[in-house]
């Protein structure tokens, strides 16, 4: 499993420690920029005979006021976006999104960056990975969230403007229960089962997803999106962690959030990334995976009560995963249905759905709880694709 460790692994690894995270990332970006401007020599490995003329330059590490991102120049999508929020950052009032405009990222060469025209008339929303509402401490922080490096093409009605918006608010509400909340968000491209078997008789798979834009500089439309959330408590001595994966399509508003919980190991394997390695030791990850599978099972039990025959989990359990799942427990997610807590708590391996009720805010919460005014009420401010020229 190939992971771009020079940029991505190191950057994601700084999952804890606010200012230190961005100081470290800033150093990494400066080193990458220095290497690229000098012909891509990369002094650390420059003595290798094959690297006389430099190494190929691909994914870009980009740093903004309040978040960092790795941009995939092949798919024209962010690979991941890492942000930190807390009570103070969410209480800011200096940033006004009505004064912000979508902009292409001047820090990426024009032929490799996302283009405003890619979204024009595409039918997909310009979906924020780091939500604008999370970064209102200054106008610059707000403006930075409108860089296309922070955008990915999302289905609008039923997803970006509905279920995903409620999920973003759920994560924001965690800041009321945590000291700092670190969030990694990004797109996924997951295969579908194929009718054809592999030559060895194993099930076959095929990758299918739309592309928008103009060849050869096409932008990929992800099949799914993920969030990995780490909420620090007790002054950063402990944390609650959880990973969620959702399809890029309209989602029934009654679908339990717990049904989208996934083992972090499985997500890491399909994303090709390690999340928060500065906190997630092998023991912590294994314990969290065990809890995530139970949370997922409970979510699906609740979902099947509402919709018999609902689809199976999006991601398989990690190889050799722990214990078989207990029988689904009917009813809402309750702590008594989860694995024993003491040992996992001693490891610092508490799941987000143990730290807070794993429930989304009500549908259309913005009509009574924030948002922009519209005909005397409240409207959700989301970012649809521009109309055709």
Residues with a known catalytic role: 128
Angle at 300 between CA 247 and CA 282, to 5 degrees: 75
Structural contact between residues 52 and 147, judged by C-beta atoms closer than 8 angstroms: no
Closest to 66 (Cα-Cα) out of 127, 129, 160, 4: 129
Q: What are the tokens at 99?
A: 């004064």
CA-to-CA separations, 62 to 10, 32, 81, 326, in angstroms, rounded? 14, 10, 9, 43
Residue 230 phi/psi, 5-degree rounding, is -125, 115
Residue entry with tokens 């009917």: 330
DSSP state of 345: H
Angle formed by the axes of helices 264-271 and 282-306, nearest 10°: 100
Closest to 113 (Cα-Cα) out of 218, 6, 222: 218
Residue entry with tokens 């009321």: 176
Closest to 181 (Cα-Cα) out of 134, 144, 225, 245: 134
Structural contact between residues 137 and 95, judged by C-beta atoms closer than 8 angstroms: yes
| Separation CA 48–CA 229 (nearest Å) | 39
Q: How many helices (H) and strands (E) does the chain have?
A: 10, 15
The three-class DSSP label of residue 264 is: helix
Handedness of CA 116, 122, 125, 130 (dihedral sign): negative
Q: What is the DSSP string of 14-53?
A: --S-HHHHHHHHHHHHHHHHHHHHTTS--GGGTTSGGGTT
Sequence-distant contacts of 17-26: CB under 8 A, at least 24 apart: 17/236, 17/278, 18/84, 18/180, 21/68, 21/82, 21/84, 22/63, 22/68, 25/61, 25/63, 25/68, 26/63
């Amino acid at each position: 499993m190939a992971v771009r460790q020079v940029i991505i692994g190191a950057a994601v690894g700084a999952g804890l420690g606010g200012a230190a995270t961005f100081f470290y990332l800033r150093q990494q970006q400066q080193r990458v920029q220095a290497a690229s401007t000098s012909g891509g020599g990369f002094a650390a490995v420059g003595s290798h005979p094959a690297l006389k003329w430099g190494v190929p330059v691909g994914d870009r590490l980009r740093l903004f006021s309040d978040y960092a991102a790795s941009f995939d120049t092949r798919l024209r999508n962010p690979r991941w976006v890492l942000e930190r929020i807390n009570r103070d950052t969410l209480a800011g009032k200096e940033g006004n999104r009505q004064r912000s405009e979508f902009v292409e990222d001047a820090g990426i060469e024009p032929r490799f960056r996302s283009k405003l025209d890619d979204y024009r008339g595409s039918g997909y929303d310009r979906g924020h990975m780091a939500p604008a509402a999370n970064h209102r401490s200054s106008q610059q922080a707000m403006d930075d969230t409108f860089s296309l490096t922070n955008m990915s093409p999302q289905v609008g009605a039923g997803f970006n403007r509905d279920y995903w918006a409620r999920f973003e608010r759920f994560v924001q509400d965690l800041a009321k229960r945590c000291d700092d909340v670190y969030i990694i968000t990004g797109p996924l491209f997951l295969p579908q089962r194929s009718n054809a078997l592999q030559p060895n008789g194993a099930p076959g798979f095929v990758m299918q997803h739309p592309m928008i834009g103009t060849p050869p500089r096409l932008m990929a439309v992800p099949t799914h999106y993920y969030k990995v959330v780490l909420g620090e408590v007790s002054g950063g001595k402990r944390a609650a962690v959880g990973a969620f994966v959702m399809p890029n399509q309209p989602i029934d508003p009654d679908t339990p959030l717990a049904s989208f919980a996934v083992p972090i190991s499985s997500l890491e394997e399909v994303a090709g990334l390690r999340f928060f390695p500065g906190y997630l030791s092998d023991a912590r990850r294994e314990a969290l995976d065990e809890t995530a599978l139970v949370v997922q099972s409970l979510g699906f039990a609740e979902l099947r009560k509402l919709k018999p025959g609902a689809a199976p989990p999006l991601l398989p359990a990690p190889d050799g995963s722990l214990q078989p799942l207990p029988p689904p427990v009917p009813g809402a997610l309750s702590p008594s249905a989860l694995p024993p807590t003491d040992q996992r708590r001693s490891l610092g391996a508490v799941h987000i759905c143990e730290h807070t009720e794993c429930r989304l805010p009500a549908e259309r919460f913005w009509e009574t709880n924030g948002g922009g005014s519209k005909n005397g009420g409240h409207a959700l401010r989301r970012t649809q694709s521009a109309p055709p020229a």
